[in-house]
Structure 1
């Protein structure tokens, strides 16, 4: 009976360690899972950044002046114009 307790304790310890190591994975911080469907006013956008290539869908995260993060499709013409305008304002 005593050896059964030790065995169960070892199994429990191994399960807890695997859960801890499993949570330390390295992956992308921000991903888009759905794009915002409507056109945004370019004057409310402060900055943008492109999502990581490991994300499920390609996206651009537009950051508004109120610090809201909105996922947009980078192939849309209105998103391209916003990105171009912001890039030119930096130079």
Structure 2
């Protein structure tokens, strides 16, 4: 009986440790779960990048000059203008 209890405790401890040490590195790094609702000025934005296709909603992450990351809807006209301006300035 005692050896069975020790065995069950060891199995439970192994299960708990495996969940702690498990690292799911195959998922996306940055995702948007909500888009920023207010229009931003181009002068505050330094760069942008698109979210991963595996994210729940499509988004673009706008990086401000103060290094803040803001999720925005890439289909909005003001976001499209910012992206176009930044693309043209890097050419």
Name the counterpart of 2:86.
Answer: 86
TM-score under structure 2 length normalisation: 0.89
Q: Residues 15-42 of structure 1, C-alpha deviation per residue, up to 9 Å, x if partnerless?
A: 1243135x41121111000001111000
Cα drift, residue 3 of structure 1: 1.7
Cα drift, residue 11 of structure 1: 2.0
Question: Do structure 1's residue 36 and structure 2's residue 57 form an aligned pair?
Answer: no
Alignment of 1:3-82 (within 5 A): 3-20=3-20, 23-25=22-24, 26-82=26-82
TM-score under structure 1 length normalisation: 0.89
Q: Runs of 5+ in structure 2 lacking a partner?
A: none
SS at match of 2:48: strand
Cα drift, residue 8 of structure 1: 1.9
Could you tell me how far apart the structure 2 residues matched to 1:6 and 1:18 are?
Answer: 18
- CA RMSD, 1 decimal: 1.4
